Amino acid sequence: MAADPSARSSGDGGEVSAAEERLRVVEALSAAARGVEPLSAPEALCRACVGLLPVTGASVSISGGRTVRATWCVSDEVASRLAEAQYTLGDGPCQSALDGAAPVLAADLADGPDGRRWPIFARQAVELGVRAVFSLPLGVGGSAIGTLDLYRDRPGGLSDRELGIALWARDAVTFAVMNLHSRHDEDERSPEEGVASWVEASEAEHSEVYQAIGMVMVQLDADPEEALDRMRARAFVEGRTVTEVARDVVARTTRFRPEAAGGPGDQQQGRRGTGDDGLAGERS
């Protein structure tokens, strides 16, 4: 009789079925989140993923569209910098997973098609010591509200079994995120309400970015996406993160001006100390 293709070998030479594997994962994730406050559950699950999979680190990010992104939790400093790099560039596996509402698995960012798909991000990731990134969208009904991002410091993809574990972990993180409002509420909340609670909880992480976007929108008479694009462009040129640029915008030490404005004489258009939020595109 043929062996069950969904089974894997156990340490004692027996086989573990897919159902038993899933139970093991669920128990590990449940143990990680047990007794944890709702707002801390995604972080507990994020760290548990690192122990369940052959990965080096993990992060969870929230998205409310192309202009709203916040890192909810990270397992380490490299995961934090990796998430910030993708937010600054507006490109990478995380953004692709959000756009397509489907997993994006980049097995080798240094060589091959993965490196060519996101060349700037791939170069920055490799400089951080990251060789593979696996981004799994969070959400229900084909709508992505964020991502669970896994990385490791060596190339190579996930096996079918490992991908299954990652997807179960993704489902657990999604459930935790969608239930951040008081768990004793008995009314059914829509996915949008669940997303709103996560955005509210994680807003502090990137509050300066949101404030800066509003300030740049006023001066450029632009929509949020264009304002963020201009900030991202400046961050890229200066070799900084978009969060760092946002801090300067809020502090009024960096000023933007409409691209149609002419010449260096426009650099002093923003009036300091007058409440004018005009931003002239230059750092003082």
Q: Is the distance from CB of 236 to CB of 88 less than 8 angstroms? A: yes
pTM for the structure as a whole: 0.64
Looking at residue 192, its pLDDT comes to 41
Considering the domain delimited by 21-180, tell me its CATH architecture: 2-Layer Sandwich (3.30)
127-140 burial, b for 16+ CB within 10 Å, e for fewer?
ebebbbbbbbbbbe
SS3 call for 133: strand
Q: Is the distance from CB of 98 to CB of 145 less than 8 angstroms? A: no
| Distant-in-sequence, close-in-space partners of 94: CB < 8 Å, separation ≥ 6 | 61, 83, 86, 104, 133, 135, 147, 149
Looking at residue 223, its pLDDT comes to 78
Looking at residue 69, its pLDDT comes to 65
Q: Which residue has the tokens 């969870």?
A: 60
DSSP state at residue 132: E
- Which segments of the chain belong to CATH 3.30.450.40? 21-180
Q: How far apart are CA 118 and CA 109, in angstroms?
A: 8
Running along the chain, 284 residues long, what does each successive block of 10 average in pLDDT? Answer: 43 62 81 78 82 93 67 88 88 90 94 92 95 90 82 94 88 74 43 41 54 79 79 82 83 81 35 36 48
